[in-house]
A and B are shown apart, each in its own frame.
Chain A
Amino acid sequence: SQQGEEDPQALSIQEGENATMNCSYKTSINNLQWYRQNSGRGLVHLILIRSNEREKHSGRLRVTLDTSKKSSSLLITASRAADTASYFCATDSQGSGSARQLTFGSGTQLTVLP
């Protein structure tokens, strides 16, 4: 299965609520990144957390990383309708005999209802 797996696959919340998405991975990583993709558009980088970091904030985003459980969570506080999008985690790991690369999970579709 994929390196990064998001959970849940789909999430629907009311505007103003917090949204939490989880990501699990299998192998050792250098860092883990979260991206957003609005319908029909390209990926947008949200935040990067390194393997030696446990928590990181950027605006309304909060990311945690638990390397012992090989998992990460993305929390979006005070959600807005504009946060409706697909959210992907991407793990940065050293491939065997190859350059570092990002491996994306299948994504969580977040719908924020006004």
Chain B
Amino acid sequence: DVKVTQSSRYLVKRTGEKVFLECVQDMDHENMFWYRQDPGLGLRLIYFSYDVKMKEKGDIPEGYSVSREKKERFSLILESASTNQTSMYLCASWDSTDTQYFGPGTRLTVL
């Protein structure tokens, strides 16, 4: 019963490429988040959004941007991918009174 989907499970890109990671939720949640997860560093918040067309920087926004044109879709954009952006990217949505639902994650490798 999948509620949060991410466009790709595995992605391989080259340095300098523009990368789009898409996240879609079907729970009508207002809040959506993008995290990256790296060994020994846990989850780190990149960007989040409390509403359509609204975005706020998280802990590590450098090198990333986001887009929230529709309530159900929150996109993470790597303008010019670098090798240090190789990571697991997790999208989540949440309704402030409910469990935060995570997508399956996208394992991005930047060569």
Which residues on A are within 8 Å of B, measured CB to CB? Answer: 33, 38, 41, 43-46, 48, 58-61, 80, 82-83, 92, 100, 102
Contacts of B99 in A (CB 8 A): 38, 41, 44
Q: In this assembly, does B60 line the interface, its C-beta being within 8 Å of a C-beta of chain A?
A: yes
CB distance from B51 to the nearest CB of A (A): 10
Q: In this assembly, does B64 line the interface, its C-beta being within 8 Å of a C-beta of chain A?
A: no
Closest 4 pairs between A and B when the two form their complex, measured CB to CB: A59-B96, A44-B100, A58-B96, A100-B59
Contact for A48 among B44, B56, B92, B98, CB less than 8 A: B56
Assembly CA distance A60 to B100 (angstroms): 16
Assembly CA distance A80 to B96 (angstroms): 12
What is the total number of residues of chain B having a CB less than 8 Å from a CB of chain A? 18
Indicate if the CB atoms of B59 and A46 lie closer than 8 Å: no
Indicate if the CB atoms of A60 and B96 lie closer than 8 Å: yes
Indicate if the CB atoms of A45 and B48 lie closer than 8 Å: yes
Contacts of A58 in B (CB 8 A): 31, 50, 96
User: Known interface pairs A100-B60, A102-B59. Does A45 touch B100 (Cβ–Cβ under 8 Å)?
Assistant: yes
Indicate if the CB atoms of B97 and A45 lie closer than 8 Å: no
Contact for A45 among B45, B60, B98, CB less than 8 A: B45
Known interface pairs A82-B98, A92-B59; 13 further A-B residue pairs with C-beta atoms within 8 A, sorted by A's residue number: A43-B43, A44-B94, A44-B100, A45-B48, A45-B100, A46-B96, A48-B56, A58-B31, A59-B96, A59-B97, A60-B97, A80-B97, A102-B59
